[in-house]
Every structure is written in structure tokens, then in C-alpha cells.
């Protein structure tokens, strides 16, 4: 689809395309969670949506493009969360707690437990670099907040780099055990993770 | 190789075979770490060892068998560590600290940061069940130690299930960032992880 075709489409058609695109991303995340990324084909995703795979190719050229878009959307949500954390919270500890809680919510709600963070190595090198850069900014912010908390006397002297790896590992691992719609309450989960991961700094 | 062929081989030949087998497992773990499990072929592993792939097939029928053996060996080491922890440590807290420290050591030294825990879904169903059962025993023990620590007043009232998932996630994630021979000291890493993950229980 060229840019001129896009310009000609009515708002109604544009809205339909946006919805279809979101439905494809949603079906892809479910498939990656249930079958694993490597075992999932574009045909599987088309079958889940009850459409032909040519309808899928209209939106995404291949599985790599689809995986990249899933990553981009979840990183965009991470960016919004980082901005919100700057507005809401005063102390490094409050801001850190907010970020950890919201990050868990992205894992359980947006990604529905899909193991996206595990599949960064599957991206093509150029796309991988873009995703890793976004992820690095987030890691740097978490380290900075821990260092600021140590400097303010709110946290004990830990190695911020090691602790941030531990925090991100524990949250990314949620994709390995979380069942959407299961007994675990997603809201409580974020609170429990934030409590535990911050208590380790005291 | 039939059992009778095994019986006929001299101790020297047996020792050679054992060493070759260990070398194959070692090369496989390095390849999985550097190239990713899905992108690694048996030919890649043979090339790393400078042998023909038929030499590899003598020991392992396929990549699934090789992955299973890597898992079995690391679970066996986990079992030894669990036994040692029962002998060495009195309180639930001491035993938990020992297990977390040793688990990190298995990740950095035995597995050399190879992402084995990520590749459980890649195993065939029967083999997967055996590995998951071994892993479950370990998870149950960690939960039991946390519950015992809570009962004894050493730990605050957390949800042991959630905390054990967080602990295992943080340790398994080491495979995503750890560089063998890098600047991070493996011994210190185990201590830092155990400190941080147990401090979260206080």
C-alpha cells in the first residue's frame, strides 16, 4: 500500500484498517504465548483470525515485521509509562515503585503474558538495534533511580546494574508462568512485585 | 552403540568417550548462548569441535537429545546442590541463601550463561515433562523454605509462589546478559543476587 492509497482512504476505512492491524498484533501475541514464537507461522495467525494469509501480508510483510511491531508498541507503552512516572512521583523510590508496577501491568495486560522480551534475538539486526536502544534507555533510568535512592539514603549500597538485571529478569519471566484469566490478580501482582523488588534495596 | 559394545570397550576408551561427550555438551552450550538455540544446527556444533557431524550422531541422535542432556546435567547439579544445602544450613534463610548463590554459580560456571531455562518449550513433550518435574521439585523446596521463614518470623508475609517466580526469573535471566570471562565476577554475583533476593523478604 503506497502513501497515496493511504491518503485516498476515508476515515472509516482508516479506522477499519487500524482495528484490523490491532487484531493481528493481538492474535500474534496470543500465538507466540501459546505455541512459542519459533513454532508460529503467519498462516497460524491468519487461521486464528479466520482470514487468508494474503490479508495478513497486506499489513505485515513477514513474521519479523510482525514481531518488530509488537516490540515497538510495547516499547511505546513503556515510554508513556516513563513520562507518567516523571509527573506522578517525587522520590526515586516512589518513581521506581510506579515503574515496576506498571511494567508488570504491561506484561499481564498489554502483552497478556506473551514472551516478547525473550524474542529480541530473533529480530533482524537493524530492527534489533532499535529495540535494544529503547530497552537500554529504560534500564538506564532504573539504574539512575537506584543510584539516586542510594545517594538519598533511602536504599542500601547495592550494585545498581546487577539489581536492575535482577528486576527486569523477574518481570520478563512472568511470560513463562502467567496465565491470562487465571487465578492470579494482575493488579495485585504488580503491587507484590514492586513491594518485593524494592524491599530488597532496604 | 549397543550395550555389548560398551562392555567390550576398555576403561581407556570409556574415558575417551566420556570426555568427548562432555566436550560436545560444552560446545552445544556455547553455541546456544552465542547463536541462540533455534539458529544452531548439529553441524554448527560439529564445526566448533572440528569433527564431522557423523561423529556427533554417535553420541546424540538429534538436537532435541542434546538439549535434553544439557538439561539433565544441569538438573543433576541442582539436585546435588539441594542435598548439600540440607547438610550445610540450619535456618530456612541460610539454606535459601545457599541455594540462590549456588544456582547463580550453575548459571555462570556450569552453563556459562547459556540460556537453557529458556528452551524448555523446545523439548519434545515426554522429555519436557521429565525436566519440568525436576524443576518443580526445586520450586517447591524454595516455596517451602520461604513459608518456613515466614512461620519462624524471619521473613515478612509474602506470597511464596510469586516470590519464587520472581527469584527464578531474575536468576534465569542471567543468561541474557552475562558474559563468561567478562568484568563481572561470578562468585560475587551469586552473593549479590542472594543478598538482594533475600533482603526483599525482610
B189 neighbourhood in chain A, CB within 8 Å: 162
On whether both A120 and A38 belong to a single domain, the answer is no
List CB contacts (< 8 A) between B192 and chain A.
158-159, 162-163
Q: Does one domain contain both B74 and B39?
A: no
Task: Tell me: do B38 and B16 sit in the same domain.
Answer: yes
Does residue A97 share a domain with residue A5? Answer: no
CB atoms within 10 A of CB B46: 18
A37 with A87, same domain: the answer is no
Cβ–Cβ of A192/B168 closer than 8 Å?
no
* CA nearest to A166 within chain B: B170
Q: Count CB pairs under 8 A between chains A and B.
A: 90
Residues B64-103 pLDDT 10s: 899 999 999 889 999 999 999 999 998 999 999 999 999 9
Whether B5 and B105 map to the same domain: the answer is: no
Q: What is the pLDDT of residue A186?
A: 78
pLDDT at B3 over 60: no
CATH code at B202? 1.10.357.10
Contact B173 A170 (CB under 8 A): yes
Convert the pLDDT of each residue in B150-166 to its tens digit. 999 999 999 999 999 99
| A121 to chain B: closest CA residue | B36
Query: Over the range A130-167, which residues count as b (16 or more CB within 10 Å of their CB) and which as e?
Result: ebeeebeebbebbbebbebbbeeebbeebbbbbbbbbb
- Tell me which of B18, B33, B60 is where a domain ends: B60
How many residues comprise chain B?
202
Model confidence pLDDT, tens digit, residues B94-107:
999 999 999 999 99
Please tell me the distance from the alpha carbon of residue B119 to that of residue A121, in angstroms, as a whole number: 14
- A169–B174 CB contact, under 8 Å: yes
Residues of B in contact with A201 (CB under 8 A): 196, 199
Instruction: Classify residue B152: in a domain, yes or no.
Output: yes
| Burial category of A61 from C-beta neighbours within 10 Å (exposed 0-12, middle 13-18, buried 19 and up) | exposed
Q: What is the mean predicted confidence (pLDDT) over B115-137?
A: 89
State yes or no: pLDDT of B60 exceeds 60.
Answer: yes
Between CA A138 and CA A183 the distance in angstroms is 30
- B-chain CB neighbours of A169 within 8 Å are 169-174, 176
Considering the domain architecture, whether residues B152 and B53 belong to the same structural domain is answered as: no
The pLDDT value recorded for residue B1 is: 46
Which of B159, B172, B198 is the closest to A173 by Cβ?
B172
Alpha carbon A183 to its chain's center: 22
Smallest Cβ distance to A196: which of B163, B177, B189? Answer: B163
Domain total in chain B: 2
Do residue A95 and residue A138 come from a single domain?
yes
Residues in chain A: 202
Residue of B nearest to A200 (CA): B200
* B198 and B108 within one domain: yes
Dist CA A134 CA A132 (whole Å):
5
pLDDT tens profile B179-201 = 888 888 778 999 999 999 999 99
- Give the DSSP letter string of B14-81: HHHHHHHHHHHHHHHHHHHHHH-TTT--HHHHHHHHTS-HHHHHTT-SSHHHHHHHHHHHHHHHHHHH
- Chain B residues with CB under 8 Å of A166 CB are 170, 173, 193, 196-197
Q: Which of B121, B169, B177 faces A173 most closely, judged by CB atoms? A: B169
Q: Which of A121, A163, A174 is facing B196, going by the closest CB pair? A: A163
A106 shares a domain with A139: yes
Q: For B4-49, how does the pLDDT look when each residue is reduced to its tens digit (9 = 90+)? A: 555 678 999 999 999 999 999 999 999 988 888 888 999 999 999 9
Is the Cβ pair A169, B189 closer than 8 Å?
no
CATH number at residue A49: 1.10.10.60
Q: Among A43, A60, A77, where does a domain finish?
A: A60
Residues B180 and B202 in one domain: yes
CB B196 within 8 A of CB B151: no
pLDDT at position B113: 82
Answer yes or no: is the ipTM higher than 0.90. no
Facing B196 at nearest CB: one of A118, A171, A200: A200
Nearest to B196 among A36, A158, A174 (CB): A158
Enumerate the residues of chain B whose CB falls inside 8 A of the CB of residue A143: none
Given this model, what pLDDT does residue A1 score? 47
What's residue A116's pLDDT?
Answer: 83
pLDDT of residue B87: 92
Are residues B129 and B188 both part of a single domain?
yes
pLDDT value for A165: 97
**pLDDT for residue A160:** 97
In the listed set B14, B34, B60, which residue is the last one of a domain according to the structure? B60
Say whether A173 and B165 touch across the interface (CB within 8 A).
yes
B166·A118 Cβ contact <8 A: no
Per the structure, the complete domain to which residue A111 belongs is given by 65-202
Q: Which residue has the cell 537493524?
A: A126
Mean pLDDT rounded to a whole number for chain B? 90
Q: Which residue pairs from B30-33 have beta carbons closer than 8 angstroms and sit at least 24 positions apart in sequence?
A: B30/B112, B30/B114, B32/B67, B32/B70, B32/B114, B32/B115, B32/B116, B32/B119, B33/B112, B33/B113, B33/B114, B33/B115, B33/B175
- B118, A118: Cβ pair inside 8 Å? yes
Residue B65 within a domain: no
How far CA A58 is from CA of A9, A38, B157, in Å, comes to 15, 22, 52
A69-78, B50-59, B135-144, B179-188: segment of lowest average pLDDT: B179-188
The 10 Å Cβ neighbour count of residue B166 is: 26
- Give mean pLDDT in consecutive 10-residue pieces for chain A, a chain of 202 residues: 60 91 92 87 93 90 91 91 93 97 91 84 89 94 98 97 97 90 84 98 97
**Are A174 and B169 a contacting pair, CB within 8 Å?**
yes
Amino acid at each position: 500500500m503506497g502513501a497515496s492509497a493511504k491518503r485516498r482512504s476515508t476515515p472509516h476505512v482508516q479506522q477499519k484498517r487500524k482495528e484490523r492491524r490491532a487484531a493481528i498484533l493481538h492474535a500474534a501475541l496470543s500465538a507466540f504465548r501459546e505455541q512459542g514464537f519459533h513454532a508460529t507461522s503467519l498462516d497460524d495467525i491468519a487461521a486464528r483470525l479466520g482470514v487468508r494469509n494474503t490479508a495478513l501480508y497486506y499489513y505485515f510483510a513477514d513474521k519479523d515485521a510482525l514481531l518488530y511491531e509488537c516490540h515497538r508498541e510495547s516499547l511505546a507503552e513503556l515510554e508513556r509509562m516513563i513520562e507518567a512516572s516523571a509527573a506522578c512521583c517525587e522520590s526515586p523510590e516512589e518513581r521506581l515503585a510506579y515503574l515496576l508496577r506498571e511494567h508488570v501491568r504491561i506484561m499481564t495486560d498489554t502483552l497478556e503474558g506473551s514472551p516478547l522480551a525473550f524474542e529480541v534475538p530473533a529480530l533482524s539486526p537493524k530492527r534489533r538495534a532499535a529495540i535494544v536502544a529503547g530497552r537500554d534507555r529504560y534500564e538506564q533510568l532504573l539504574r539512575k533511580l537506584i543510584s539516586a535512592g542510594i545517594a538519598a539514603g533511602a536504599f542500601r549500597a547495592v550494585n545498581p546494574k546487577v539489581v536492575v538485571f535482577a528486576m527486569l529478569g523477574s518481570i520478563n519471566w512472568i511470560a513463562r508462568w502467567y496465565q491470562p484469566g487465571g487465578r492470579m490478580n494482575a493488579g495485585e501482582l504488580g503491587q507484590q512485585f514492586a513491594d518485593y523488588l524494592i524491599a530488597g534495596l532496604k
